[in-house]
Amino acid sequence: MTFKQIFPIFLFVFLTFSITAQEIYVAPAGSDSNEGTKKLPLKTISAAQKMAVALLESGRETEVIVWLDGGTYTIAEPLEFTPLNSERQDLRLVFKAQKGESPVISGGAEINGWIKNEDGLWEASLPDALKGMDNFRELFISGTRAIRARFPNEGFLHVKKAGEDRRTNFFFEKEDFPIPANLEGLELVFLHDWSISRIEVKEIDATNSQLFTVDSIGAKAPAFFAIDNWEPNPRYFLENAPEFLDADYEWIFLKGQQKFLLKLPESINPSDLNLVVPISEGLISIIGKEDQQVKNIHFEGIVFQFSKWGIPQKGYCGVQACHFDPRPSTKGWAVVPAAISSVWAENVSFTRCSFKNLGGSGIWFGTGSKNCKVIDSELVDISGNGIMIGEGQDRIVNGEPWWKSAPHQVASGNTIENCTITQVGAQFYGAMGIWAGLTAETSIKKNHLFSFPYTGISVGWMWSPVPTPARQNTIEGNHIHDIMNILSDGGGIYMLGLQPGSKILYNRIHDVEVNAGKAESNGMFLDEGITDVLVEGNLVYSIAKSPLRFHRATVNTVKENYFFCTDGNPPIRYNTTKEEDIQKVDNKVFSEGEPNYQKELKKQITRWEKKSIKPGGR
């Protein structure tokens, strides 16, 4: 019998025996022909989801808990949640790890059958089940991201001179890099101040030392995304050619031959490793409607691992915060999608969960998402943004931008609390640990964010003081450090646009690098349009430039902060901002070299640690 034939029998059993009606059990060793009891568990989460939905829609149950045993649940496409066929608003669906277990929802496929070739490299053909897929951008070796073969192996090359159009080509120093015999799949990774481009190489003129790409390097708009508008000799590297495969744990995928090449240390055999490529484009997709939200879905203690995203055909050309120029479309900016996404969702939560090895962004509470939460969780090794809340400006409703014609659609009341977020921006360096666009009443509290190529937390998405639905967002008690490691013109906290009643409170920010871009990076950077924001009680130190910077801001309050300044840098930098508009109250400023600098810094760190509940995830 098929699952469709026997499913009504399962449902009858669950509705008849109320003692088990609220619980469904799933285990990798189970079977979808089982009843879903603890002794006879189902095998797949999708089967459990169907059973749970039927139970809730029957009207007999108000809550169903799906218990997941330990092990891996592999999916090839996202698990999709849509509104229940019920008028009740209190129905709850919970997916929960069994006690002591860490079930994994995986969108990856293992690559086996590795053979060593005459060049000392390991080869593996694409499994039959994956035939037709050719855009493999990531390979994970026992849970660690492997490096797609690049040149140079570390650091960057530098543009010698931009080409005539300043957009599609540039000159390089002769013999800067080995010129690949086959340019198919060769990718240029080009650094702008606060974003990057990843775009295929069309031609390399070895005689004139000139490189051409398949389209514009950098976003086509704004106009300042020209090759030579950034660093004097912008940084770049090249990726994905056999000639670059010269370091251990580097790999490439050869499209034409449908096989992987991998370099490993002599003592390592791939049969002893777990080699996985992401194949599912997302893991969880929650899709409601404005008049029918998806409500009350909760995930507890689950690991979400391996998710795929392939860049557009003509390249990824970033604008800011993993928003990019969606070629060939001209319909505004797009954004790197997330493994976990929701629109028109209410009261959705992830508690004590882990998100790792993801090819796009991590989590996105999008349009109309309300009162959704990520609590006590960790996000590690994410290609794009860690967590996204809300949206940008471009969506159109009734012929106008949504924030003008339908401001009630704003994502509101969402919370990120006590999470650990690290190693975001693994592919797309302009990523944020937490990005909140045009949002309202968002709470970002007591999180630990570190080891980023760019900014820690970003809230706002309007480069002017024009009113939008953004308001009353709070960034409180977060520990942010070791950021701005590659790009520039950002900070531990970045805030943008008019969002009255918003607050930056009691955060600890330190170890913010200085970079080669045109603009400096700061502990906190409050950008264009910022008005009526309270900056209070923050501890900021070990910042290469000023602890706080305003740019085209208006009236704001800076109160009772502790700013520890490096030599020659003021506590607050004012760019096109009237200093008298910034109300400063009882701030404590210490300059490097003062006799009590280190003593006071140590005192304030201790005070912050005692005052704060130590932030961090599961």
Beta strands in 451-566 (DSSP E): 457-459, 474-476, 479-483, 491-495, 503-505, 508-512, 522-526, 534-536, 539-543, 548-551, 556-559, 562-565
- What is the model's pLDDT at position 613? 58
Backbone angles phi, psi at 450, to 5 degrees: -160, 165
Inter-residue contact 78 to 306 (CB < 8 Å):
no
132-173 pLDDT, tens digit per residue, is: 888 899 999 999 999 999 999 999 999 999 999 999 999 999
**H-state helical runs in 327-427:** 402-405
Inter-residue contact 259 to 111 (CB < 8 Å):
no
Q: Taking 50 as the threshold, does the pLDDT of residue 379 lie above it? A: yes
Structure letter (DSSP) for residue 352: S
3-state secondary structure of 405: helix
pLDDT band, very low/low/confident/very high, at 580 (cuts 50, 70, 90)? very high
Task: Report which of 162, 152, 151 is spatially closest to residue 211, judged by C-alpha positions.
Answer: 162
The superfamily in CATH containing domain 309-611 is Single-stranded right-handed beta-helix, Pectin lyase-like (2.160.20.10)
Contact residues for 2 (Cβ-Cβ < 8 A; gap 6+): none
584-596 pLDDT, tens digit per residue, is: 999 999 999 899 9
pLDDT band, very low/low/confident/very high, at 524 (cuts 50, 70, 90)? very high
- What is the model's pLDDT at position 8? 52
Q: Taking 50 as the threshold, does the pLDDT of residue 17 lie above it? A: no
Peptide bond into 152 cis (omega under 30): yes
265-281 pLDDT, tens digit per residue, is: 999 999 999 999 999 99
Token pair recorded at residue 361: 């962004």
Structure letter (DSSP) for residue 260: E
Reported pTM: 0.95
Residue type, 383: S
- What is the model's pLDDT at position 16? 44
- Average the pLDDT over 177-185 and give the result: 95
Share of the chain above pLDDT 90, in %: 88
383-434 pLDDT, tens digit per residue, is: 999 999 999 999 999 999 999 999 999 999 999 999 999 999 999 999 999 9
Question: What is the chain's length?
Answer: 618
541-574 pLDDT, tens digit per residue, is: 999 999 999 999 999 999 999 999 999 999 999 9
- What is the model's pLDDT at position 6? 53
Token pair recorded at residue 614: 């130590």
- What is the model's pLDDT at position 320? 95
Share of the chain above pLDDT 70, in %: 95
pLDDT band, very low/low/confident/very high, at 612 (cuts 50, 70, 90)? confident
Task: Identify the weakest region by mean pLDDT among 1-5, 120-124, 339-343, 456-460.
Answer: 1-5
Residue type, 20: T
Q: Taking 80 as the threshold, does the pLDDT of residue 261 lie above it? A: yes
- What is the model's pLDDT at position 542? 97
Q: Taking 90 as the threshold, does the pLDDT of residue 615 lie above it? A: no
481-499 pLDDT, tens digit per residue, is: 999 999 999 999 999 999 9
Q: Taking 80 as the threshold, does the pLDDT of residue 617 lie above it? A: no
Contact residues for 386 (Cβ-Cβ < 8 A; gap 6+): 361, 362, 363, 379, 421, 424, 431, 432, 433, 434, 449
- What is the model's pLDDT at position 145? 98
- Average the pLDDT over 34-60 and give the result: 96
286-329 pLDDT, tens digit per residue, is: 999 999 999 999 999 999 999 999 999 899 999 999 999 988 77
- What is the model's pLDDT at position 14? 47
- What is the model's pLDDT at position 607? 95
- Average the pLDDT over 1-10 and give the result: 52
Helices (H) and strands (E) in the chain, counts: 4, 62
How far CA 94 is from CA of 20, 48, 56, 97, 113, in Å, comes to 15, 11, 12, 10, 39
DSSP 99-150: TT---EEE-EEE----EE-TTS-EEEEPPGGGTT-------EETTEEPEE-E
- Average the pLDDT over 86-100 and give the result: 96
Task: Report which of 324, 375, 330, 328 is spatially closest to residue 348, judged by C-alpha positions.
Answer: 375
First to last CA, the chain: 42
Contact residues for 325 (Cβ-Cβ < 8 A; gap 6+): 216, 219, 220, 221, 317, 319, 333, 334
Domains of the chain by residue range: 108-276, 309-611
